[in-house]
Amino acid sequence: MCTNRTALSSERQQFVANFLDTMDIVSPLIARQRYAAVVNGTQNLKVYTFGECMKDLSQPDCNLCFARCKTRILSCLPFQKGTRGGKLFYDGCYLRGNVSVYGLAQCWEFVNASACRNCLAEGVDKIGSCPSKEEGRVLNAGCYLRYSTFKFYNNSQIEPTGSKGGRRHLAVILAATSSSFALLLVLATATFFWRKKVLMRRREKKQLGALVDTVNKSKLNIPYEILETATNYFANSNKLGQGGSGSVYKGVLPDGKTVAVKRLFFNTRQWVDHFFNEVNLISGIYHKNLVQLLGCSITGPESLLVYEYVPNQSLHDFFVVKKNAQPLTWEMRCKIVLGTAEGLAYLHEESQVRIIHRDIKLSNILLDEDFTPRIADFGLARLFPDDKTHISTAIAGTLGYMAPEYVVRGKLTEKADVYSFGVLVIEVVSGKRNNAFAENSSSILQMVWSLYGAGRLCDAIDPLLEGNFEEENSRRILQIALLCVQASAELRPSMSVVVKMLTDEHKIYEPTQPPFLNLSNAETSQLTPPQFTSNSQPGSHTQSSGNSMTQSWIEPR
């Protein structure tokens, strides 16, 4: 809440300087003793500041809250809404505290009491799969459970149905049982969330401590003030783009080096994971096809990551936003496909640790001044132990690029990146997005697979190229892409083999069909890209795999 006292233009510069000095004084006090009362400045330009964290906050949460307050209170500086004062209160920065939980448990009318209890007990176990959600529901065969932070039910009296005493008695039993389980459900849900919050706080505190130690010990630490100045205080004119985890700004360091500064959002609990991933996984990795991390900052109002600046931005800008009038030439596209494959092969097999990127897509492939591709955004990346065939993890990534075995089972291997790469290659070559969910539209995987069976792969090439491409080379690249998106993870080649195929050092095999396609040979010959409505399947190249998933295996290094 900002005050309505208007600041004079002559006071602005000194007032802002006093404010920034005051924040520098307050920050360590909050971090050390959880409160601060500071008066700074002279005469009528004094800055009076008071801040305190409530006792229910851990120290890391206190620090995060204060950092966010520092950012938001900037809106009350002079000439921002015509004010020169303000106050903020955050309830722990995130929703917590006195929130009621309402629950309902109900059995079907014909279910007996014993079956009702068993059904509801099973439902209570299942509803644990709705953590950190404001509402959850379970519909079993025989009963229904629901909880929410708002009162979704009415208090109308349950009337017995039927005239026989036995039926009325059964209705009373079921009502009593449902009420009891509703209470148990509320208690179980509250206990579950409380325990989850405690465990989350412990984990975050440990992670945050490790993160601070990592940054302080590394040579990557760059003062927040330098990066703030480099980006002209994160001016919109310097904004390069925005993703799910933060915004990216162009900046110029004091030595004249142009960089890209990623400003992580504080409105997500995953920011520590994202920051830790970027700093830990790629700070010591150097490859011509990977974006290099130059530095970071964790001491200011928000966390910042600093990367080398890549002037031609991302493939997303060429194929979706289409900021550039001229489309990429065939030679450029071949260079992008090979470079991306080499970067992934390095992550999977050549770096000191095996890394799975998990989010290969158009917007995460950047292009430098020579249109050399650079893989970016390692916020979702995972280390892959040498002694494991797969790791189980929560599903994360972008729809349309995620491998079927990962979506269905949560089992992650390098073959998930191979699948994403195959989708990316088809997008780059065809100039179309892999949007399998658009109304009256087929996915490009289906299009390319059908054209492959019809012996017309060249029909899938981007029409903007106006025929300026090598037919044999285009068929090879698309066939390799189809090998990468096969339904069976075991049949997909490793990225090192993909590189050899792209450079004519390895035989290219016949692919099996991509996942989730059920095609017949009847209408293949009638396809006319890019629009088609076929449900066809190439007959001569089909190997029945359907939607079945198999556990991936990894070749030894």
Query: Largest alpha-carbon pair distance within the chain?
Result: 90
- Residue 78 and residue 56 in contact, taking contact as beta carbons nearer than 8 Å: no
Both 36 and 150 in one domain: the answer is no
Q: Are 273 and 328 within one domain?
A: no
Burial tier of 428 (Cβ tally within 10 Å: 0-12, 13-18, 19+)? buried
Query: pLDDT, tens digit, for every residue of 122-143?
Result: 888 777 666 556 777 777 767 7
Answer for the pair 260, 376: CB distance below 8 angstroms, yes or no: no
**pLDDT mean over 274-300:** 81
For the beta carbon of residue 170, count every other beta carbon within 10 angstroms. Answer: 19
361 & 455 share domain: yes
Token readout for 13 is 């510069």
Is residue 546 assigned to a domain?
A: no
Q: Which amino acid is at 351?
A: S
Specify the pLDDT at position 184: 65
pLDDT for position 546: 32
pLDDT digits 0-9 by tens, 195-234: 766 666 566 555 555 556 666 666 778 888 999 999 999 9
**Is residue 345 located within the same domain as residue 482?**
yes
What's the pLDDT tens digit per position in 8-60?
Answer: 555 666 777 777 778 878 888 888 887 788 888 776 667 778 787 766 567 77
Q: What ranges make up the beta strands (E) of 400-496? A: 411-412
Query: Which pLDDT belongs to residue 549?
Result: 32
Across the chain, mean pLDDT equals 74
378 and 476, same domain (yes or no): yes
Whether 71 and 302 have beta carbons less than 8 Å apart is answered as: yes
Q: How confident is the model at residue 104 (pLDDT cuts 50, 70, 90)?
A: confident
**Of the candidate ranges 123-132, 225-234, 482-491, 535-544, the one whose mean pLDDT is the lowest:** 535-544
Classify residue 209: in a domain, yes or no: no
The domain boundary, picked from 184, 200, 216, lies at: 200
User: What is the pLDDT, as a whole number, of residue 152?
Assistant: 62
- Greatest mean pLDDT range, 246-260, 314-328, 543-557: 246-260
Domain identity same for 87 and 109: no
- Domain check: are 367 and 479 in the same one? yes
Instruction: Give the tokens for residue 97.
Output: 């505290």
70, 95, 120: which is the final residue of a domain?
95
Q: Are residues 330 and 456 in the same domain?
A: yes
Residue 210 lies in a domain: no
Tell me the β-bridge partners of 143: 107, 140
Q: What is the CA radius of gyration of the chain?
A: 29
For residue 37, what pLDDT is reported?
83
336-379 confidence digits (pLDDT tens): 999 999 999 999 999 888 889 989 999 999 999 999 999 998 87
Q: Domain of residue 27: give its range.
A: 9-95
Determine the Cα–Cα distance for residues 16 and 530; give it in Å rounded to an integer: 57
How many domains does one find in the chain? 4
Residues 351 and 431 in one domain: yes
| Cis peptide leading into residue 28 (ω within 30°) | no
Q: What is the CATH number of the domain that holds 340?
A: 1.10.510.10
Catalytic residues: 359
Is the pLDDT reported for residue 535 higher than 80? no
pLDDT in tens, 161-192: 444 444 444 444 445 555 556 666 666 777 77
What span, in angstroms and rounded, lies between the C-alpha atoms of 127 and 185? 9
Whether 366 and 393 share a structural domain? yes
Extract the annotated binding site for ATP: 262
pTM: 0.58
Torsion of Cα atoms, 21 then 24 then 25 then 29, to 10°: 160
Residue 73 predicted with pLDDT over 80: no
3 in a domain, yes or no?
A: no
Residue 155 main-chain phi, psi, to 5 deg = -100, 25
DSSP 8-state secondary structure symbol assigned to residue 468:
-
Least confident segment among 116-130, 308-322, 349-363, 503-517? 116-130
Instruction: State whether 387 and 502 are in the same domain.
Output: yes
Flag whether 447 is in a domain: yes
Domain assignment present for residue 548? The answer is no
Tokens standing for 49? 């500041």
Q: Taking 70 as the threshold, does the pLDDT of residue 160 lie above it?
A: no
Q: How far apart are CA 267 and CA 265, in angstroms?
A: 6
Across the range 156-160, mean pLDDT stands at: 41
Residue ending a domain, among 57, 77, 95, is 95
Residue 2 lies in a domain: no
In a domain, 552, yes or no: no
State the CB neighbour count (10 A cutoff) for residue 112.
12
Which position has the higher pLDDT, 313 or 485? 485
CATH of residue 238: 3.30.200.20
Which residues are annotated as part of the binding site?
Answer: 262
- With residues binned 3-state (H G I as helix, E B as strand, rest as coil), the percentages for the chain, rounded to 5, are 45, 15, 45
Which class for 268: exposed (0-12), middle (13-18), buried (19 or more C-beta within 10 A)? Answer: middle
Q: Are both 355 and 338 inside the same structural domain? A: yes
Dihedrals phi, psi of 488, to nearest 5 degrees: -85, 120
Predicted confidence (pLDDT) per residue in 374-388, tens digit:
999 887 766 555 544
